[in-house]
Amino acid sequence: MNEDNSADGYLKGQLLVAMPAMQDPRFEHTVIFLCAHNADGAMGLIVNRPLKKLSFPELLDQLGIARGTSDINIGVQYGGPVETGRGFVLHTPEYEQNGTISVDNRVGLTATVEILRDIASNRGPRQSLLALGYAGWGPGQLENEIQQNAWLNVPADDHLLFDEGIELRWERAIGKLGIDPSLLSDQHGHA
């Protein structure tokens, strides 16, 4: 997942990593996959904040979706503070249906109930992550937060998005930059 959209100044398909001094508890130590980023703003999903009160089988039961014969149990994530009752599935690109958006050549985004049915019946994507809610920024807002030292951006990869070890994603994302998190400052400024 090395498609670099930063050449145009936008970070779609990359990860935002909250700096250690992030003051907003909704985003403290979060890793956010940016699904969209352009002049109109940005939209992303937090990929390292599992919901402990709701499992995938429980969500299927709430939606009246049969579980099929498989024992698939993907994690349900807190995707962000906007529209927390709405589900979004980040997934590998081999799965596509009407309504699937290709974020880049390695990740798709689908926000339909049909993908949940397909996952439950073993017809879904090879790898996926389900998030309830999303994080959103208006025009120029994310760029301003980056300038204020709130976020670092890191190239995304399949391992960070889909592998086990959700609780270590923040540390692993920072590690991709070769930075010791204890050395990061909460002060912003210029050299």
Per-residue pLDDT band at 8 (split at 50, 70, 90): confident
Is residue 114 classed as helix, strand or coil in its secondary structure? Answer: helix
Task: Give residue-wise pLDDT tens across range 13-25.
Answer: 999 999 988 889 9
Q: Is residue 33 part of a domain?
A: yes
- Per-residue pLDDT, averaged over 158-179, amounts to 87
**For the purposes of burial, counting CB atoms within 10 Å of the CB of 3, is it exposed (0-12), middle (13-18) or buried (19 or more)?**
middle
CATH label of the domain that carries residue 114? 3.40.1740.10
Q: Is residue 79 part of a domain?
A: yes
Whole-model pTM?
0.88
Q: Is residue 93 part of a domain?
A: yes
Of 48, 50, 131, 38, residue with least CA distance to 83: 131
Mean pLDDT of the chain: 87
Residue with more model confidence, 144 or 23: 144
pLDDT at 89: 96
Per the structure, the complete domain to which residue 70 belongs is given by 6-183
Contact 100, 109 (CB under 8 A): yes
Q: Is residue 145 part of a domain?
A: yes
Total domains in the chain come to: 1
